[in-house]
């Protein structure tokens, strides 16, 4: 691999966005994702064109050669993720980006990456509907696919971006998580977040702290809690010559049919994520402890939720917002903590209640969980959410 | 005294999982001898298999090895080669893995002319799953999913690879293994995409349903049907139908190889970036933040 001849970050940000002053950029969400990936050290991208994610790929095609990295447009999304896994197994930081149909094609190889414990970033800029759907309209319809799309029991780390700054910082977080846990991380965005333009400051990104409080965006960050190491990394080359297989395998890397070894292998795979939930669950609470209703939101709906909260504040409605950046592993602790203190949890989603169902399982013994779904390719308005809140509180009071 | 090939063999993993009479081991042996002759460095050699009987050969080779998912070995190998151009990357695949589910990756790897060596073990059947028809099963042959006989025509994989852009194409048989060893050696040394088709007998899943049946008869049959490229040129298409054309069938120099072409892009982009950086630096008086 060729070395980067200079501090490329300056020139990447200069070329991918439009500088408004010394520290701020106006930049498209998809390009901010590419910038975050480059700043996080991603040096391998293989992908296949698909709306509304292609700008990530185009930005990588433009910037990776100068950074001494590899960019390839493959023949399909299956080949794209496989090439990424191949590169990642040599120790390279690799990523791909796609949308629903491409994400569906990647599922088998995604399971392989989990099984052989390969760090990898997969960005899914969601479009609405099954099949081809509407490629240029936003949705959150792939949430459960991100969790359970590949076959068999498996761990999953899924993050959701709600704005351009998220596209940068959550890309970086996803890369760190992937490296640390040696597993693929899925970053969900949607057409709105991916293709909108917003200002943000990559230089000041360290200030964006999330409430979980223990994640640092500085390069080389390693979480102090290294209680459980993941399996021996497979790195092709660099002195070792391991065998890598998607079959159940033991510590030697070779296949095993031993039931006991199979069980402990899969449980360890699962638990390496489950046991680090607190580190992985990134979220933000607004108006903490002051609401009778909590809007639980992620992705572009979190933007609407925040706007609704501000309106609610003006109108004297007691509302708090739980903005989730990590969807999986499930943020059980914070959901249950909030559930214990509010009367309603309202979950606006651009799907038919995929995540509301998860929240209901965690919270319904303490609170009433209400889903709000939209699948027409448009967004909620803050007023729609607020009206629903007023209705819920009104209904409660009339009882 | 240990055999030379044992340095590249996980002897502790033997006996292998192939059936008695299977031809995959014969070609794997040729591959191992080619590795010995070339003195490949174990740390810088990666062997990638897909899924199927032949892909399992990767698991017996003591270099960096991958047993991947069905049909995608070439895509994984492409990623490895691009990330580590100094590595020798060899793909072991079968006719189901490489010509059916992985057919698209095969033609695109050929088109890119990426410096990989692909050895396709053609046993004309899906052996591991129990004898289903493959894209290389002959017209009229029987298989569990062609109980009335196959009515699709197989590929000529070597012509396919050549047309798609592979720059080294050869075919041999398990019945005459020495030349195959030679093709593999030449293929690995060839600076571009090398495609080697090795016709191997599967007496268990193919031979038990189709003439000539047993492994020795199958090997004899392979030998009898093998002809050289020069001999093939003198035959009519009808006469060629059941022949196995062997030898180095295509060898082209000068077609750009993908990894090297990409490296020149990197060099150009880095030079341009350095220039841009200088301009930006001078425009902003050296105060770019």
Contact list, A112 vs chain B (CB under 8 Å): 68-69
B48 inside 8 A of chain A by CB: yes
B198 lies in the same domain as B270: no
B221-230 CB burial, b ≥16 within 10 A, e <16: bbeeebbeee
The per-residue pLDDT for range A257-275, each reduced to its tens digit, is 999 999 999 998 898 899 8
B140 lies in the same domain as B281: no
B8 inside 8 A of chain A by CB: no
B279 lies in the same domain as B230: no
Residue A279 banded pLDDT, cuts 50, 70, 90: confident
B154 lies in the same domain as B264: no
B11 or A272: which leads in pLDDT: B11
Query: Nearest CA to A70 among A54, A52, A53, A86?
Result: A86
B160 lies in the same domain as B81: yes
B227 lies in the same domain as B264: no
- At A227 the pLDDT is 37
What crossing angle do the helices spanning A54-63 and A29-39 adopt, rounded to 10°? 40
Residue of A46, A66, A108 with shortest CB distance to B79: A46
B55 lies in the same domain as B190: yes
> Cβ–Cβ of B87/A90 closer than 8 Å?
yes
> Cβ–Cβ of B78/A74 closer than 8 Å?
yes
The per-residue pLDDT for range B57-101, each reduced to its tens digit, is 999 999 999 999 999 999 999 999 999 999 999 999 999 999 999
Contact list, A84 vs chain B (CB under 8 Å): 79
Q: Whole domain around residue B285: which residue ranges?
A: 257-289
pTM score over 0.90: yes
Contact indicator for B82, B257 with CB cutoff of 8 Å: no
Beta bridge partners of A188: A124, A160
Residue B40 banded pLDDT, cuts 50, 70, 90: very high
Residue of B269, B272, B277 with shortest CB distance to A6: B277
Residue of A72, A79, A90 with shortest CB distance to B84: A90
- CATH number reported for the structural domain that contains residue B27 in this entry: 3.40.50.970
- At B277 the pLDDT is 79
Beta-strand ranges (E) seen in chain A are: 18-19, 25-28, 44-47, 70-73, 94-98, 120-126, 157-160, 184-190, 197-200, 243-245, 283-286, 293-297, 319-324, 326-328, 344-349, 368-373
Residue B189 has pLDDT above 70, yes or no: yes
Query: Nearest CA to A189 among A259, A95, A123, A110?
Result: A123
Residue of A15, A22, A65 with shortest CB distance to B266: A65
Q: How close B219 comes to chain A (CA, Å)?
A: 32
List all residues of chain B from 10 to 39 with a beta carbon under 8 Å from chain A.
10, 13
* Residue A363: CB atoms within 10 Å: 23
Contact indicator for B81, B114 with CB cutoff of 8 Å: yes
> Cβ–Cβ of A74/B108 closer than 8 Å?
yes
Contact list, A88 vs chain B (CB under 8 Å): 79
The per-residue pLDDT for range A40-82, each reduced to its tens digit, is 889 999 999 999 999 999 999 999 999 999 999 999 999 999 9
Contact indicator for A196, A145 with CB cutoff of 8 Å: no
Residue of A5, A75, A236 with shortest CB distance to B80: A236
Q: Report ipTM for this prediction.
A: 0.96
Q: Range with the lowest mean pLDDT among A146-155, A241-250, B9-18, B218-227?
A: A241-250
| Residue with token string 């980006």 | A97
Cα–Cα distance, B196 to A32 (Å, whole number): 44
> Cβ–Cβ of B69/A10 closer than 8 Å?
no
B66 lies in the same domain as B186: yes
B165 lies in the same domain as B269: no
> Cβ–Cβ of A14/B288 closer than 8 Å?
yes
Domains detected in chain A: 8-207 (3.40.50.970), 286-398 (3.40.50.920)
Q: Residues of chain A with pLDDT > 70: what percent?
A: 86
The per-residue pLDDT for range A79-135, each reduced to its tens digit, is 999 999 999 999 899 999 999 999 999 999 999 999 998 999 999 999 999 999 999
Q: Which residue of B has its CA nearest to A248?
A: B67
Cα–Cα distance, B27 to B16 (Å, whole number): 14
> Cβ–Cβ of B67/A22 closer than 8 Å?
no
Average pLDDT over residues B39-49: 95
Q: How many domains does chain B have?
A: 2
- At A242 the pLDDT is 86
B86 lies in the same domain as B192: yes
What is the rounded (10 degree) CA torsion for B88, B94, B99, B100? -130
B90 lies in the same domain as B182: yes
Cis check: omega of the bond before A147, within 30 degrees of 0: no
B158 lies in the same domain as B280: no
Alpha carbon distances (Å) from A262 to A138, A251, A258, B213 = 40, 11, 6, 39
């Amino acid at each position: 691999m060729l070395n980067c001849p200079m501090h490329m970050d300056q020139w990447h940000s200069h070329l991918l966005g439009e500088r408004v002053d010394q520290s701020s950029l106006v930049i498209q969400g998809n390009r901010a994702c590419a910038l975050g990936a480059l700043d996080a050290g991603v040096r391998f991208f293989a992908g296949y064109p698909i709306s509304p994610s292609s700008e990530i790929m185009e930005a990588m095609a433009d910037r990776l050669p100068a950074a001494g990295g590899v960019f390839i447009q493959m023949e399909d999304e299956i080949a794209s993720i496989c090439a990424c896994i191949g590169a990642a197994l040599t120790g390279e930081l690799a990523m791909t980006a796609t949308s629903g149909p491409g994400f569906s094609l990647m599922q088998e190889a995604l399971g392989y990456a989990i099984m052989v414990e390969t760090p990898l970033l997969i960005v899914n800029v969601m479009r609405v509907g099954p099949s081809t759907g509407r490629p240029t309209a936003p949705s959150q319809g792939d949430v459960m696919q991100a969790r359970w799309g590949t076959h068999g029991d498996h761990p999953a780390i899924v993050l959701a971006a709600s704005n351009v700054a998220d596209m940068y910082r959550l890309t970086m977080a996803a890369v760190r998580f992937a490296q640390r846990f040696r597993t693929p991380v899925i970053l969900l965005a949607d057409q709105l977040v991916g293709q909108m333009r917003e200002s943000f400051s990559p230089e000041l990104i360290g200030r964006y702290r999330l409430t979980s409080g223990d994640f640092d965006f500085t390069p080389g960050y390693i979480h102090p809690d290294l209680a459980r190491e993941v399996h021996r990394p497979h790195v092709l080359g660099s002195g070792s010559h391991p065998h890598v297989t998607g079959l159940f395998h033991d510590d030697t890397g070779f296949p095993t049919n031993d039931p006991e070894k199979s069980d402990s292998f899969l449980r360890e795979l699962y638990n390496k994520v489950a046991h680090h939930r607190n580190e992985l669950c990134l979220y933000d609470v607004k108006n903490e402890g002051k609401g009778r209703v909590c809007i639980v939101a992620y992705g572009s709906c979190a933007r609407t939720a925040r706007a609704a909260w501000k309106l609610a504040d003006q109108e004297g409605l007691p509302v708090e917002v739980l903005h989730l950046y990590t969807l999986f592993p499930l943020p059980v602790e914070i959901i249950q903590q909030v559930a214990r203190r509010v009367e309603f949890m309202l979950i606006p989603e651009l799907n038919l209640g995929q995540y509301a169902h998860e929240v209901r399982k965690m919270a319904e013994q303490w609170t009433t969980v209400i889903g709000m779904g939209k699948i027409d390719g448009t967004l909620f308005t803050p007023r729609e959410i607020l009206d629903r809140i007023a209705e819920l509180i009104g209904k409660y009071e009339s009882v | 005294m240990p055999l030379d090939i044992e340095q590249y063999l996980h002897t502790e993993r033997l006996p292998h999982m192939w059936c008695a009479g299977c031809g995959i081991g014969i070609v794997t042996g040729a591959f191992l001898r080619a590795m010995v002759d070339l003195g490949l460095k174990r740390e810088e050699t990666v062997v990638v298999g897909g899924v199927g009987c032949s892909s399992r050969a990767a698991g017996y080779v003591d270099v960096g090895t991958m047993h991947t998912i069905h049909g995608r070995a070439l895509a994984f190998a492409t990623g490895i080669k691009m990330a580590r151009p100094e590595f020798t990357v060899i793909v072991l695949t079968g006719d189901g893995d490489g010509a059916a589910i992985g057919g698209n990756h095969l033609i695109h790897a050929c088109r890119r002319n990426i410096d990989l060596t692909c050895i396709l073990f053609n046993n004309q059947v899906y052996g591991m799953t129990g004898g289903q028809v493959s894209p290389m099963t002959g017209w009229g042959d029987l298989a569990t999913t062609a109980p009335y006989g196959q009515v699709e025509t197989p590929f000529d994989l070597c012509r396919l690879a050549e047309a798609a852009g592979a720059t080294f194409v050869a075919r041999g048989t398990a019945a005459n293994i020495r030349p195959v060893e030679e093709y593999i050696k030449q293929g690995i040394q060839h600076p571009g995409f090398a495609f080697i088709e090795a016709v191997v007998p599967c007496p268990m899943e193919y031979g038990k349903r189709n003439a000539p049946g047993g492994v020795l008869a199958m090997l004899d049959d392979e030998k009898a049907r093998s002809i050289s490229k020069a001999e093939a040129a003198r035959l009519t298409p009808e006469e060629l139908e059941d022949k196995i054309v062997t030898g180095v069938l295509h060898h082209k120099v000068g077609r750009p190889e993908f990894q090297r072409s990409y490296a020149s892009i990197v060099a150009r982009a880095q030079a341009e970036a350095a220039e841009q950086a200088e301009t930006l630096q001078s425009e902003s008086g050296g105060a770019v933040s």
